[in-house]
Structure 1
Amino acid sequence: MVFAGILIIIGAVFLLKNLGIVSAEAWGLIWPSALIVMGAYMLWKKHQWNMWKDRVWRKLE
């Protein structure tokens, strides 16, 4: 679900760039920011998974 949303956002940015609404300078700022956001999201999801896994194992012990 998240991957689909990311693809939609990337497609929208490319469309805006082709229509001349987003300049090349803005694109130079957007794509590194998108990578940072995606990396932070992956770290957050990993943290959530570890918290859930720890709770389950504590209950099973």
Structure 2
Amino acid sequence: MKSKIAELRKQRKISQQELATAVGVTRQTITSIEVEKYTASLVLAYKIARYFDMAIEEIFDFSDVEV
């Protein structure tokens, strides 16, 4: 699942650590999501979306997720 987290962080000039602290995870978790080695849980995706004041679908691309 692709995400726009890195792009949004850079636009807002925040570090991976700042985002991680705000949503209650480690910097490594944010890094892993950004490089697509880890898929955020629904709860974490929701927290990230709330942090950026956006809908989950605006941040995460679900087109490659099988149902």
Structures share a fold, TM > 0.5? no
Q: Which has the higher helix share?
A: 1
Give the TM-score taking structure 1 as reference length. Answer: 0.27
Q: Which has the higher strand share?
A: 2
Rg (Cα) greater in structure: 1
Give the TM-score taking structure 2 as reference length. Answer: 0.26
